Amino acid sequence: MARLIDIHPQNPQPRAVEQAMQVVLDGGLLAYPTDSGYALGAQLGNKDALERIRAIRRLDDKHHFTVVCKDFAQLGQFVHVDNAIFRAVKNATPGPYTFILPATREVPRRLLHAKKKTVGARIPDHVVVQALLASLGEPLLSSTLILPEQEEAMTEGWLVKEELNHQVDAVVESGDVTADPTTVIDFADGTAEVVREGAGDSSRFL
């Protein structure tokens, strides 16, 4: 049965944040709110949690998982951002964007796109997520919580717990969040390709 952890949306309580991150450090799978709906999160190297995410969302090996980072410096440790796109990516973070970029060796191979060796990377503009990442001290392996029969991310913590009570280890509740997805920009070949239009303004990359 999943544990429900209440965290204040504007002033996250350190003890509650630490409790949520301890679930992750203990090898668990966490459902948490972001600036674009709920997501599933775990430690980068957690193979079991990765397979649990695949099962919950029914994903194939072509799906791009996301490395959720606290800041741009951390993002740069896990993906290659060349000089041509550095300014564009940096100016759009934090915010509702996911960037598909070549992964560095810091990213476990099992997270990479099977053929392209790329991974999603983002820096959410969300107080609770920033607190969670600061407590963890490393990025989260993450995937937007869109159930197979749904088209949008889940937005309510109590409903996430009801739906996934026996499939995740904990759910962070901090008030309702928007269902607007991130805008996905693919920089795999060095130029911007808008893969998905979402909350972020894609025109800045065209």
118 Cβ partners below 8 Å, 6+ apart?
Answer: 64, 100, 101, 102, 103, 112, 186, 188
Q: Which domains does the chain have, with CATH numbers?
A: 3-205 (3.90.870.10)
Q: Helix, strand, coil proportions of the chain in percent (round to 5)?
A: 30, 25, 45
User: What is the per-residue pLDDT for 121?
Assistant: 97
- CA–CA separation, 101 and 145 (whole Å): 21
Per-10-residue mean pLDDT of the chain, 206 residues long, equals: 96 98 98 95 96 94 89 95 91 95 93 86 96 97 93 94 97 91 92 93 89
Q: What rounded mean pLDDT belongs to the chain?
A: 94
- Pairing between β-strand 140-144 and β-strand 118-122 as defined by DSSP bridges: unpaired
Residue range 95-130, pLDDT digits in tens:
999 999 999 999 998 888 777 889 999 999 999 999
Percentage, residues of the chain above pLDDT 70: 100
How many helices (H) and strands (E) would you count in the chain?
A: 6, 10
H/E segment holding residue 163: helix 157-164
H/E segment holding residue 23: helix 14-25
At 136, list the tokens.
């963890």
H/E segment holding residue 193: strand 193-196
- Pairing between β-strand 37-42 and β-strand 30-34 as defined by DSSP bridges: antiparallel
User: What is the per-residue pLDDT for 69?
Assistant: 97
